[in-house]
Amino acid sequence: MKGKKSSALQPGHIQPVEPKVAILLGLSFPIALFVFWNITLPFIASTSSFIIGVDVVETFAYLKEDVLNAMLLPCPNWIAAEERVFIRKSSSKSIRRVSNLNAEEFKNIVNTGEPVVVTDGMRDWPGLGELNCQSIIYNYPDAKYFDWQAQENISLRNINKRNKFEGLECMAGYMNLQTPENLKYMQELMNNVRAPYFLFKDVYTAEPHINSSHPNLNIFIGTENTGVSPHLDETCDTFISAQFSGVKNWSLSWPISEEGELKWSKPIVFTLYPGELLFWYVGMRHHTEVVKGCSLSFSFQITTPAPRDYFHKLSKTVNSGSDADKDKLFKQTRASNANYLDTCNVIEKDGKSFIIARVLDEK
């Protein structure tokens, strides 16, 4: 009709949004997102569990948490949501914390395989109060450091030049003192430590089959919001973790059998502070997480005293399951050999008990 204006939008014309509508949309969007994320999705998940199964729903829940962590956490997400849930379902037990030990008391603790924190374990160590992340980086610029973020070895002098990071931001990794590039620093670094006062002088190198001239030592450096997800070290030795600086959370668990099913025990979760030593054993699943400051820790492997009773119980428990059960158990820790415990052995020599890997020619 002539004389009437058409209300239809013309091509290329954008209808302006009323200010009140724009404000309303701006306020309602985060609310809608919150409702969708926290109410709608959980409702769909709980309903869907009856249709597609609990395992599939759990997988989607883990994916949701992984995505959220990737968006919100200041450092790359180093632990999967499924493993974080495993840690959250921790045991009500607390780790044993002791001081003023003697050799016999310590031997009895180790024999049972009870993980223990010795709160005064570093009381006579020269490096306590002197060594920290900055001093290691400054004094050993040519040392090789394996950066977990980049999955590559770099020199400590270049630690501040990592791609996408500033300074020590989100730094996490370790120095392997067994490599040719780093072995030359072993003696100087060992001048900062001692054998724990309740153990004998050569505990770091005591071996019944070989005459080791240096300890099995790794140095871990990590800043806040970084860590190592739950995993298993496929070795027979007992571990000592010595905390020089920073504060680190840990979890430890081990294989158990419940109603004929092999599974990991509920993890014991605890905190390790500067000056403390942690002792833990073969077959233990563990994770670490730096919660304060820059963490510098030394990790040693020792063979004596042996966790004799614990190891025999552990072997019996694991071997009570089928090969499929063992594969399933150790696959959760990304272990390469589900039968690695079969290579371990407890022996007696010179009045001491050792836990070692069997030598190839041993009958």
State pLDDT tens for residues 136-188.
999 999 999 999 988 999 999 999 888 888 899 999 999 999 999 999 999 99
pLDDT, residue 268, reads 98
Domain count, the chain: 2
Q: Which residue has the higher pLDDT, 67 or 36?
A: 67
pLDDT, residue 80, reads 86
**Residue 84 domain-assigned (yes or no):** no
pLDDT, residue 72, reads 72
In this structure, the answer to whether residues 66 and 100 fall within a common structural domain is no
Provide, rounded to the nearest whole percent, the portion of the chain with pLDDT above 90: 66
d(C-alpha 274, C-alpha 262), whole Å? 35
pLDDT, residue 41, reads 57
The position carrying tokens 């607390």 is 94
pLDDT, residue 347, reads 94
Residues 95-142 have pLDDT tens digits of 999 999 999 999 999 999 999 999 999 999 999 999 999 999 999 999
| Domain residue limits at 47 | 21-72
Using the predicted structure, report yes or no on whether residue 363 has a pLDDT greater than 50. no
Q: Best-predicted range by mean pLDDT among 22-36, 289-303, 326-340?
A: 289-303
**Residue 35 domain-assigned (yes or no):** yes
In this structure, the answer to whether residues 246 and 214 fall within a common structural domain is yes
In this structure, the answer to whether residues 53 and 128 fall within a common structural domain is no
In this structure, the answer to whether residues 240 and 277 fall within a common structural domain is yes
What's the whole-number average pLDDT of the chain? 86
In this structure, the answer to whether residues 192 and 261 fall within a common structural domain is yes
In this structure, the answer to whether residues 32 and 138 fall within a common structural domain is no
**Residue 13 domain-assigned (yes or no):** no
d(C-alpha 296, C-alpha 122), whole Å? 14
pLDDT, residue 38, reads 63
pLDDT, residue 74, reads 84
d(C-alpha 220, C-alpha 132), whole Å? 11
Over residues 349-362, mean pLDDT:
79
Using the predicted structure, report yes or no on whether residue 70 has a pLDDT greater than 60. yes
**Residue 80 domain-assigned (yes or no):** no
Q: Band of the pLDDT at 69, cuts 50, 70, 90?
A: low
In this structure, the answer to whether residues 180 and 220 fall within a common structural domain is yes
In this structure, the answer to whether residues 198 and 319 fall within a common structural domain is yes
